[in-house]
Structure 1
């Protein structure tokens, strides 16, 4: 009995009530599409499809479906001249071809004979985009000497100042200010001030200092305001009718 109790129970798959293998969406290991990427795939081969109606037709060639230019031969074009009608040329400068008199065949060296080389100065070449690169002298590199280095640690720099003019042999004592250039404060501002006295000018009695005429400056005989006087006539000056009258500008 003890041996039966110690015997292990082997599970039987038919007695299990769980879902079957079809319930799990595992990738297939057969075929090429959707194959399990964790498994090694064997080479796959397929059969091509049937070619249309090739088996039912008696003629296998496409027939006269190709167009061959008649001017093309086995050695190239036949060379027959072809003419066509073109539209009127808008630019008449196309027909400005040189005449036979424009050519100078006498200037051409005879063919096959040796002649000395000739050199000429060509025209300026066309500007290219890559020619716009600056020259080496266009760049200004930072200095490597001195106390100011933009990207490097510089060593301490020392300089010597100029000789001082004060106390030196080149000092000009004539340029020193005199005593009159200083604004010294009055002693009365910071010391006790003594009384000050002054003398006034001579004073005069008040009177009328205007100039008055003397007795001989008067002409009482010419005074006629207190007695009757006869009429007095005088002759005026001659006037011309062509004299322009006096015009005075009274505008502001």
Structure 2
């Protein structure tokens, strides 16, 4: 085969080196930039940048929970009619006849019979701004200590005089009474006397005062003189023929 015949042969596509099928891509259908012009594109919105939080610029925009009235659009109020239902008005000229349950004859006192007086408490009179009303801490109850209590019964009041310096204990300490100088006053003297009781000595019945044995001192199970005795056995020492006898005296 010559060189001319090799040049006239058609080119094989498998021998050609080129990009694969993943090299080619259709335009994207997501986003706003480079969108596929054969597809329907939705409106795109952008978020503004956040304002700086400083003393000159404050972020005062509403949050995501801001409620927009559905009747208001970007062109203003939609203008659809709205209606409200009101209650039925009462006729002021209609005569209001009371029903049978309006009357309470059981609450009416019988005519001609006496009854206790009835009292009612009126409403407290409102104070004016010009009135001088005392505060809560202006009132105070009288003291209950001392002898001069206006509305309470008081006990007897006593006073103690000063100690005399002349002839007192401070001049001569020998005159000072000791603890045993004072005698306690019996409460039965100044108060109601308590009942008094006396205790007598213990009395014994006359009889024999010798010591007798108790029930535990007797042992009837050990009596064999007048009752049959059971046989009794004793265990001796076990002897073995292999034990060497104890020899104490050893001949020289």
| Same fold, TM-score > 0.5, yes or no | no
The TM-score bracket by the shorter chain reads under 0.3
Q: How does the TM-score come out when normalised to structure 2?
A: 0.15
**Rg bigger for which structure?**
1
